[in-house]
């Protein structure tokens, strides 16, 4: 049926209206799209540019160079060496086991290191890098780099690792670093981000731990462009970090090395203290260990050998262990009596070999007795009865006060691990710790350095130094931090009567130089270098033993303290030989050799020794020189 002209016109009019509406709608929609595009491309351009850059630009920390440690003469104790390592970021690897499997076909992976790495992956965040292999060769690095596309999440880097070129000489002093552990992080409320870097090393014991924050320095950062496989394409910019401060210690490596050789196989400790500023010129615990093994991850077998050794090489005996001081404590009791005005130097006490106190017999080491004996003779012969009698007059409170005045019972502020305060007991201590009253027998035992009294070799060296100088001198181990010298520890006047100190000096001089002195056989005859000293023997059980007839671990400890030259003191020395038997036979000879070595700055002339000792000393010096040279060669080859 044909449309009329009117119908056709009406239809055209309706279509045009719809077209206009549709066109207007399309135009409006296009306008909205344009506005949205403008908003996205112009108004939010910076935001999307940042998001895009975050996808292709990575911010990475640059580990700071750890500060080095030197001895007083500039000899390196701890330094850094370059190392290559392979790291993996779990979230970039996707299938960690598959990637490690491929990596193992290119590089030989240590099973223990791999197990540690897998444990670290499980315990860390997905984006934290984890070290898979450390100290790998350049060839291994090259193979990994060449196969990077097949190893997503795997990258290589050049880092630094701590090394100790003196090996065992300073293990107990400098300590060592190792990979960051959970307990290290607990030191901080907000741990520095650099500690999360793979393989980052943290001070675990000794100076490395005590000076961690200064030695570590501050991390730098770099921006690098990476591709979709997280492979670094180029470095965009870099901000260098701040290297850690170098430390210079007060110790002398040559003297430290000599003492280590001189102690040989003994379980012993030696402290040598300079009397000008309190500098510790040597501080040796024997036996020792190689701290480099801990840096690299010590094996279970190696650690078991150290742990199970009855000579305890892991213990820092000089500051960590506390021993009964034995007769080396008698100067404390004597000074307490002099200071209180309760004894005179020429006043005598009769020693029949024992003293009866409250129905109990306290024996002198010489069972036949010393007869009538004065202050100087009491120290020269180390008469116990003289000090038993003196304890009854002076009392424990005055003895304890004098002990603390001379540095006993104090944990000195030296940057070593587990520094003990020892124990200077008194009435309040016993009541507090044991819930018992102090009895007179406790004072008698304390007067000769037995009973509850405990001291470290460091404290005994300080005691000898304070007696020698009359000052509150304290030990100083770090001489310089960066470019700043640390304060002198020369100390102030103790307020002790100089005449009382002179009496003690003369008595200690007679110990080493009088024919009847307990250390006469270990005397120094060089004029101007003669020493004043005191022997000591500390029981390790409640009963007196025959040291030659019992097992090593049941023998008495041997002690000796001294200062030299006796009339112009420059150094103080303390020696303890564990289970050495007697101070005069085991500790005094070592102390004499160490004292001469420190005074002469090397092997002393044979003329410094008594004539009869010279053949033996000549042979000893030659043997120790060979041993030190052999060790130096071994250390050089390891480096």
- CATH at residue 210: 3.90.1310.10
Band the pLDDT of 51: cuts 50, 70, 90.
very low
Can you tell me the distance from the alpha carbon of 502 to that of 345, in angstroms, rounded to the nearest whole number?
A: 11
Same domain, 154 and 267: no
**How high is the pLDDT of residue 619?**
96
Same domain, 479 and 400: yes
**Which tops the pLDDT comparison, 10 or 430?**
430
At 455, which CATH number?
A: 3.40.710.10
Mean pLDDT of 397-412: 98
Classify residue 486 by its DSSP letter.
P
For 208, the domain range is 63-249
Same domain, 153 and 206: yes
- pLDDT 10s digits, 179-238: 898 899 999 988 988 888 777 899 999 999 999 999 999 888 878 777 655 566 677 788
Same domain, 90 and 205: yes
Residue 14 lies in a domain: no
Residue 403 lies in a domain: yes
Half-sphere exposure in the Cβ direction for 315 (13 Å, CA): 20
Same domain, 189 and 337: no
Residue 408 lies in a domain: yes
Same domain, 564 and 470: yes
- Three-class DSSP category at 506: helix
Same domain, 191 and 262: no
* Domains: count for the chain: 2
- pLDDT 10s digits, 96-130: 888 888 888 888 887 777 887 888 888 777 777 88
Position of tokens 């000769």? 448
- pLDDT 10s digits, 286-339: 999 999 999 988 888 999 999 999 999 999 999 999 999 999 999 999 999 999
**How high is the pLDDT of residue 236?**
77
Residue 603 lies in a domain: yes
- Cα–Cα distance list, 73 to 30, 69, 169, 284 (Å): 81, 11, 15, 18
Same domain, 150 and 110: yes
Residue 1 lies in a domain: no
Same domain, 235 and 261: no
Residue 33 lies in a domain: no
Give the strand pairing for 57-62 and 201-205. Answer: unpaired
- Cα–Cα distance list, 196 to 80, 127, 129, 159, 322 (Å): 19, 11, 8, 14, 38
pTM comes to 0.85
Least confident stretch, 148-162, 259-273, 374-388: 148-162
Least confident stretch, 112-116, 404-408, 613-617: 112-116
Position of tokens 């019972």? 409
Least confident stretch, 121-135, 433-447, 529-543, 604-618: 121-135
Same domain, 110 and 240: yes
Can you tell me the distance from the alpha carbon of 216 to that of 211, in angstroms, rounded to the nearest whole number?
A: 8
Mean pLDDT of 20-49: 67
**How high is the pLDDT of residue 318?**
97
Same domain, 230 and 353: no
**How high is the pLDDT of residue 17?**
66
């Amino acid at each position: 049926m044909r449309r009329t002209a009117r119908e056709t016109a009406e239809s055209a009019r309706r279509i045009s209206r719809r077209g206009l509406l549709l066109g207007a709608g399309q135009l409006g929609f296009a306008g909205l799209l344009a506005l949205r595009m403008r908003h996205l491309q112009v108004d939010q351009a910076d935001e999307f540019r940042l998001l895009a850059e975050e996808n292709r630009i990575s911010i990475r920390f640059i580990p700071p160079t750890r500060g080095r440690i030197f001895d007083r003469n500039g000899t390196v104790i701890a330094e850094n060496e370059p190392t290559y390592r392979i790291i993996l970021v779990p979230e970039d690897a996707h299938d960690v086991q598959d990637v490690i499997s491929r990596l193992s076909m290119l590089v030989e992976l240590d099973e223990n290191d791999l197990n540690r790495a897998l444990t670290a992956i499980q315990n860390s965040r997905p984006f934290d890098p984890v070290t898979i292999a450390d100290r790998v060769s350049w060839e291994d690095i090259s193979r990994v780099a060449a196969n990077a596309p097949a190893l997503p999440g795997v990258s290589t880097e050049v880092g630094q690792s701590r090394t100790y070129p003196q090996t065992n000489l300073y293990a107990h002093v400098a300590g060592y670093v190792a990979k960051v552990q959970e307990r290290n992080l607990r030191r901080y409320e907000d741990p520095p981000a650099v500690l999360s870097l793979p393989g980052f090393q943290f001070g675990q014991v000794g100076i490395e731990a005590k000076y961690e924050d200064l030695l570590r320095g501050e991390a730098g950062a770099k921006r690098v462009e990476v591709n979709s496989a997280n492979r670094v394409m180029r470095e965009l910019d870099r901000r260098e970090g701040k290297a850690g401060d170098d430390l210079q210690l007060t110790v002398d490596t040559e003297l430290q090395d000599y003492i280590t050789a001189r102690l040989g196989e003994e379980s012993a400790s030696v402290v040598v203290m300079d009397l000008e500023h309190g500098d510790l010129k040597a501080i040796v615990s024997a036996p020792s260990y190689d701290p480099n093994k801990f840096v690299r991850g010590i094996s279970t077998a190696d650690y078991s050998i150290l742990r199970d050794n009855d000579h305890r090489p892991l213990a820092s005996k000089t500051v960590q262990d506390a021993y009964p001081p034995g007769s080396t404590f008698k100067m404390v009791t004597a000074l307490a009596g002099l200071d209180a005005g309760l004894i005179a130097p020429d006043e005598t006490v009769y020693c029949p070999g024992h003293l009866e106190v409250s129905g109990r017999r306290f024996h002198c080491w010489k069972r036949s007795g010393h007869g009538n004996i004065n202050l100087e003779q009491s120290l020269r012969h180390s008469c116990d009865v003289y000090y038993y009698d003196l304890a009854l007059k002076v009392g424990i409170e005055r003895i304890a006060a004098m002990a603390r005045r001379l540095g006993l019972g104090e944990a000195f502020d030296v940057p070593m691990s587990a520094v003990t305060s020892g124990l200077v007991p008194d009435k309040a201590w016993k009541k507090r710790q044991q819930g018992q009253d102090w009895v007179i027998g406790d004072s008698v035992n304390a007067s000769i350095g037995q009973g509850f009294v405990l001291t470290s070799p460091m404290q005994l060296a300080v005691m000898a130094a304070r007696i020698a100088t009359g000052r509150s001198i304290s030990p100083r181990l770090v001489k310089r931090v960066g470019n700043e010298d640390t304060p002198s520890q020369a100390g102030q006047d103790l307020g002790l009567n100089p005449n009382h100190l002179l009496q003690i000096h003369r008595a200690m001089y007679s110990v080493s130089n009088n024919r009847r002195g307990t250390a006469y056989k270990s005397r120094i005859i060089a004029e101007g270098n003669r020493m004043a000293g005191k022997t000591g023997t500390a029981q390790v059980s409640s009963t007196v033993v025959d040291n030659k007839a019992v097992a090593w671990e049941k023998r008495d400890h041997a002690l000796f303290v001294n200062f030299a030259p006796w009339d112009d003191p420059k150094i103080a020395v303390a020696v303890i030989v564990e289970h050495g038997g007697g101070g005069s036979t085991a500790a005094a000879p070592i102390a004499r050799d160490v004292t001469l070595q420190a005074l002469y700055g090397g092997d002393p002339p044979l003329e410094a020794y008594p004539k009869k000792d010279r053949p033996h000393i000549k042979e000893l010096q030659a043997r120790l020189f060979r041993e030190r040279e052999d060790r130096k060669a071994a250390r050089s080859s390891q480096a």
